Amino acid sequence: MSTHTPDAILLGLDVGTTNVKAVAIDPSGNQLALASRPQAIAYPRPGWAEHDPEAVWTLACEVLRDAIGQIANSSRIVGIAVTSMGEAGVTLDRDGQPTGPLIAWFDRRTGQQVARFSAQADDRRLHAITGSPMQPILTAAKLMWLQDNDPVAWNRTERFLNVSAWIAHRLGADPAQDMSLASRTGLFELSTRRWHPELLAAANLRENHFGSLSEGGTRIGSVSRFGSEATGLPIGAAIGMAGHDHVVGAFAAGAIGRGDAADSIGTAEGLLVALDAPIADPAICETGITQGAHVAPGRYYALGAVYSAGASIAWAQRAIGSNRPVSDLIAEAGHIPAGSYGVMFVPHLQLAMLPHLDLEARGAFIGLSTDTKTAATFRAVLEGLAFEGRIAWDLIARFAELDRITDVRVLGGTAQSDLLVAIKASVANAQHHVLQLEQATAVGAAMLAGMAAGVYRDADDAVTQVHTQSRVIEPGPADEIATYETMYSTVYRNLYGALRPLSHSLTRLFPIESSGHA
Amino acid sequence: MNDTPLLLGLDLGSTNIKAVIYEPDGTSVARASVPCPTHYPQAGWANYDIEELWLTCVDAMRRAVSQVEQPERIVGVAVGSFGEAGALLDANDEPVAEMIAWFDQRCRVQYERMVDGADPDRLFAVTGTTVQQIMTGPKIMWHRDQDPEAYARATSWLNAADYIAFRLCGVKAQSKSLASRTGLIDLRAGDWSDELLGLADIDRALLPPVLDGGEPLGPVLPDVQRQTGLTDNALVAVGGHDHPCGAFAAGAIRHGDFLDSMGTTECTFLAIDRPLDDQTIGRQGYSLGAHARGSFYMYGGLYTAGIAYDWFKHLAADEVSHDAVLASAGSVAAGSGGVVFIPHLRLSNTPYPDSRVRAAFVGLTAGTDTPTLVRSVLEGVAFEARAASEPLFTHAGLPVPDDCVVVGGTARNNLLLRIKASVQHQRMHVLDIDEAGALGVAMLAGIAAGVYETVDEAAAAIKRPEHIIEPVTADYPVYDALFAEVYQHMYPTLAPFNHFLFDHFTGQQL
């Protein structure tokens, strides 16, 4: 049922931690409108972070009105979908009013609840079932926190909706739960794409505390009069199921087929590989690789993350780069040969996520000599990020029984990061395609809206129809690839394990100050 | 008329040749310093032209002597120098080859031939040191390989300082302290070892007798008197190796006296009354040697000490003044927030002799800033000095002293000294000595001339102005924990990675 609708306009709304953005695209992916507003966040106590649900809704409405105002004929809008940050949502009473705070995804208030949840569902088992290890940020722990700390509010709570589903619900959709964000609850069984009854019981939750489970791109309702009045969206426009922002961004990048790889480079970095079935080998739970349900229906993904990616570059600029412009430092690093004369960097400046989640890990520079100058150390930082990323690709490829990753779609790449991407291409010996897709997350939501509106037949059709320009960055010459291969296999791959006892001693002696996440 | 006797110490250093004239209490009354003329014919090679070296010494002495109103008051002259460099002379005492600098790297092949099949423990048991490619055996072998005809004419070999002393008075002798850096002597016997000479296939006749520092050689030759302004009153004495002579000047001469010479590199020096036999000492890279006169020493040290700070400042804070960099590093709390630096920027140090090493920072976090890194570099140098010096006391069966005497250029870095005091749990006594190396040989000249009766009397006669840097006792727990739980594990943790990186990348940057 392919509807040929070249005039159709699709809207994607991206509710993120720092910004709320809306884009409008035509079915080929051309951007017709873009609006963005900064998101507000409060830090009521150390380790706590909250958004005000009503303020988030108001902001979403403003951003949508702004974007729609940029479109000549808004009646051509046929669909909208909303994507949002990970483990964050709203508890609602029977009238749909919030009963508690909108706890930010990275909030760490749930220590006691995590301990209680762990007692009933051990970490390995949880990891094997849900694809993620026990973490204080999981939705289950947040809901248990409300149970423990505000029983009155919990008693009034009928349902929990992730931010994306909640905004969609206010626009007119049925209460729904997408599977990519369900994968971040600690309650969802990946292999069956269903809630896991024992895990629900362990968290004192029931299936009907959540919206009905829906695949990405499913039509979950239509824009209501209320939704239309609030935003300017036409009444009756399709509302599509989107989901977790990282996964929606990878969808926009076209990473939906088995082995498709997307590298999203920001302050943090996500290295995602689309899969058609979850990795079943329980040994995956020993690694820092997490898994989840893709927004492409029936598909999965495996994800490795680098917590301090852009953050490491910014750190090096301050700590060893005399605060000179990053562009200058990168230009000088470009004149240093591959291998940085043997200087190597480990980017675990806050924590390690590869090869294992390790909150006590620390960064390092090794291989320094009296000849070492700033440019070589700066290049070593870029190479360290590339080696760290290679760990993710190798782990995923090995466990998913994929051939080597040969092509990587790069999101968040800029001309300034070309040296980093070129190094990554040589380190991974893989072609890197830097996508010209600045608003990937919002565009991915719009594509899922297009599926719901019938503009695209299915996920593959959406990915085929949306043309994204890209620049190809090839791996370097054979000797460069060989140099990196030896450094990786001889040194980098073994470095984390060797430094671990030293890092743990240092972290015990000098606890790492919790970062601001501002 | 002033009849206070004067003593001239001439010190041949890699950078400068210094002539300093002292009163018997160590007060300097005249000085001259002339750059040491060094030639670099190719990468890794360094030579001295022997006649040019002599004329430079004459020039330095002449300038110093000319500052003294009554040169006849100069009653003693002695010469000290860097080790591991010497002159090969023919029967007419003309050089048959250039003098190869101590740090020259050309003699690897000869070194390997000399020690091939030899037991390193045995070599240490005889010589008190690890035989190295910079030592005399490989250098003489290189001359023989390079020009067999010239070598056939050679009749004697003299270490640099001993050669200059010979030119002053016409008497050939080898100072024991320099001879102990040749790798060819039996340290306990205090004489050339036939066993070691055999390994290098060197005829014993080539090597003049070994004498202790402070033994009289003879008056200054008439020609040289005219060139330098010295008179018949000046007796030339056996001098020696600059390190132990400097330690003698600093007062480190009796068993258990400890001296830390802080500079670009750092030398931790313990005076002992007899050579020690434990093979571990050699395996850990420590050396035993003959002291300036009569006793012995054991030393280890850091190849990168002060230079580590210079290196990092240049890397990360080149535009900022030293004062500002050190002030901001000084305001960072002890322990640098858990960032630890190991300063193996070119070679590792005792107790882990290993040439295939690199330096590292561990414990980096998002909050690590430049001042924190600078402080961690200084703390790393202090940890390394503690690691290098503690085994000296263990081997000698002595407790680590509460006081540490320091000399040298880096001893002007008060933040480093304060960190060092706290890391080593020691009070730092920073001596203000004018050219310790020159003073040490001047004191030996004074013994020969009868200005002092004994070594102890000479050491006691010297005035040594000092200032004291106290440790911060509140910092002991954090430094002890970092040292024991982290620093001591860094070398073995990083060694396999460093070996790879060293083998793969060293030389690429040249």
How does pLDDT run along chain B (510 residues), one tens digit per residue?
678 999 999 999 988 999 999 999 999 999 999 999 999 988 878 999 999 999 999 999 999 999 999 999 999 999 999 988 999 999 999 999 999 998 888 898 999 999 998 999 999 999 999 888 889 999 999 999 999 999 999 999 999 999 999 999 999 999 999 999 999 999 999 999 999 999 999 999 999 999 999 999 999 999 999 999 999 999 999 999 998 999 999 999 999 999 998 877 888 999 999 999 999 999 999 999 999 999 999 999 888 888 899 999 999 999 999 999 999 999 999 999 999 999 999 877 788 878 889 999 999 999 999 999 999 999 999 999 999 999 999 999 999 999 999 987 776 789 999 999 999 999 999 998 888 999 999 999 999 999 999 999 999 999 999 999 999 999 999 999 999 999 999 999 999 999 999 999 877 765
Q: Tens digit of pLDDT for each residue in A23-36?
A: 999 999 999 999 99
**What percent of chain A has pLDDT above 70?**
98
**Looking at residue A303, what is its pLDDT?**
97
Q: Is B493 on the interface with A (CB under 8 A)?
A: yes
Closest chain A residue by Cα to residue B303? A370
Average pLDDT, chain A: 94
Cβ–Cβ below 8 Å for A364 and B316: no
Which of B206, B121, B215 shows the shortest CA–CA distance to B177? B215
Report how far residue A166's alpha carbon sits from residue A83's, in angstroms, rounded to the nearest whole number: 10
Report how far residue A508's alpha carbon sits from residue B409's, in angstroms, rounded to the nearest whole number: 37
Q: Tens digit of pLDDT for each residue in A425-456?
A: 999 999 999 999 999 999 999 999 999 999 99
Q: Which DSSP symbol is given to A373?
A: -
Q: What is the 3-state secondary structure (H, E, C) of A27-50?
A: CCCCEEEEEEEECCCECCCCCCCE
Q: Cα separations (Å) of B441 from A174, A273, A337, B172, B294?
A: 96, 73, 49, 17, 14
Length of chain A: 518
Report how far residue A45's alpha carbon sits from residue B168's, in angstroms, rounded to the nearest whole number: 81
Report how far residue B280's alpha carbon sits from residue B300's, in angstroms, rounded to the nearest whole number: 13
Question: Residue A366: which of B318, B358, B486 has the nearest Cβ?
Answer: B358
Q: Interior CA angle at A478 toward A477 and A481, to 5°? A: 90
**Looking at residue A1, what is its pLDDT?**
42
Report how far residue A55's alpha carbon sits from residue A172's, in angstroms, rounded to the nearest whole number: 18
Report how far residue A196's alpha carbon sits from residue A194's, in angstroms, rounded to the nearest whole number: 6
Region A35-59: mean pLDDT is 93
Q: Which residues pair with A160 in a beta bridge?
A: A91, A210
Report how far residue B107's alpha carbon sits from residue B101's, in angstroms, rounded to the nearest whole number: 11
Region A254-281: mean pLDDT is 95
- At B75 the three-state DSSP class reads strand
Which of A236, A294, A166 shows the shortest CA–CA distance to A453? A236
Q: Interior CA angle at A88 toward A265 and A140, to 5°? A: 115
**What percent of chain A has pLDDT above 90?**
87
Report how far residue A85's alpha carbon sits from residue A164's, in angstroms, rounded to the nearest whole number: 8
Q: Tens digit of pLDDT for each residue in B228-283?
A: 999 999 999 999 999 899 999 999 999 999 999 887 788 899 999 999 999 999 99
Region A484-511: mean pLDDT is 96
CA distance A284 to chain B (A): 27
Q: Which residues pair with B211 in a beta bridge?
A: B175
Cβ–Cβ below 8 Å for B338 and A315: no
Q: Tokens for B497? A: 């990675």
Residues 6+ apart with CB under 8 A from A230: A61, A170, A171
**Looking at residue B509, what is its pLDDT?**
64
Question: Residue B367: which of A320, A337, A513 has the nearest Cβ?
Answer: A513
Pairing of the two strands A363-368 and A344-346: antiparallel
CA distance B413 to chain A (A): 20
Question: Residue A509: which of B338, B501, B510 has the nearest Cβ?
Answer: B338
Region A101-116: mean pLDDT is 91
**B266-272 β-sheet, strand order:** B287-290, B296-302, B266-272, B258-262, B403-407, B427-431, B466-469
Report how far residue B214's alpha carbon sits from residue B176's, in angstroms, rounded to the nearest whole number: 10
Q: Tens digit of pLDDT for each residue in A203-220?
A: 999 999 999 999 999 999
Residue type, A33: A
Neighbours of B93 (CB within 10 A): 15
The pair phi, psi for residue A193, each rounded to 5°, is 55, 45
Report how far residue A448's alpha carbon sits from residue A463's, in angstroms, rounded to the nearest whole number: 10
Neighbours of A34 (CB within 10 A): 17
Residue type, B101: A
What are the chain A neighbours of B508 within 8 Å (beta carbons)? Answer: 337, 339, 341-342
Structure confidence at residue A516 as a pLDDT band (50, 70, 90): very low
CA distance A365 to chain B (A): 5
In the block, residue with structure tokens 């008056």:
B219
Which of A113, A186, A116, A105 shows the shortest CA–CA distance to A146? A113
Cβ–Cβ below 8 Å for A339 and B505: yes
Q: B34-43: long-range contacts at Cβ-Cβ below 8 A with a sequence spacing of 24 or more?
A: B34/B59, B34/B60, B34/B63, B36/B12, B38/B14, B38/B101, B39/B98, B43/B510
Cβ–Cβ below 8 Å for A370 and B506: no
The pair phi, psi for residue B301, each rounded to 5°, is 165, 180
Per-residue DSSP letters for A94-144?
Answer: TTS-B-S-EE-TT----HHHHHHHHHHS-HHHHHHHHSS---TTSHHHHHH
**Looking at residue A518, what is its pLDDT?**
31
**Looking at residue A4, what is its pLDDT?**
57
Residue pair B476/B336 in contact (Cβ under 8 Å)? The answer is no
Residue pair B358/A342 in contact (Cβ under 8 Å)? The answer is yes
For residues A510, A511, A515, A516, the Cα torsion angle rounded to the nearest 10 degrees is: -100
ipTM of the prediction? 0.91
Q: Which of residues 280-319 of B touch A (CB under 8 A)?
A: 304, 307, 311, 314-319
Q: Which residues pair with A432 in a beta bridge?
A: A408, A473
What are the chain B neighbours of A483 within 8 Å (beta carbons)? Answer: 504
Closest chain A residue by Cα to residue B486? A502
Q: Tokens for B389? A: 């010096």
The H-assigned helical ranges of B66-193 are 108-115, 120-127, 136-146, 148-153, 160-169, 176-179
CA distance B481 to chain A (A): 8
Report how far residue A345's alpha carbon sits from residue A312's, in angstroms, rounded to the nearest whole number: 10
What are the chain A neighbours of B317 within 8 Å (beta carbons)? Answer: 322
What are the chain A neighbours of B500 within 8 Å (beta carbons)? Answer: 486, 490-491
CA distance A478 to chain B (A): 16
Structure confidence at residue A106 as a pLDDT band (50, 70, 90): confident
Q: Cα separations (Å) of B220 from A305, B30, B264, B272?
A: 78, 19, 36, 33
Pairing of the two strands B210-211 and B174-175: parallel
Q: Which DSSP symbol is given to B484?
A: I
Sign of CA dihedral A441, A447, A453, A458: negative
Residues 6+ apart with CB under 8 A from B460: none
Which of B382, B483, B475, B395 shows the shortest CA–CA distance to B428? B382
Q: Tokens for B25? A: 């209490």
- Considering only the C-alpha atoms of chain A, give the largest distance between any 2 of them, rounded to a whole number of Å: 71
> Residue A422: how many CA atoms within 13 Å on its side-chain side?
14
Question: Residue B338: which of A321, A495, A510 has the nearest Cβ?
Answer: A510
Region A143-159: mean pLDDT is 96
Q: Which of residues 443-482 of B touch A (CB under 8 A)?
A: 478, 481-482
Residue pair A80/A12 in contact (Cβ under 8 Å)? The answer is yes
Residue type, A364: A
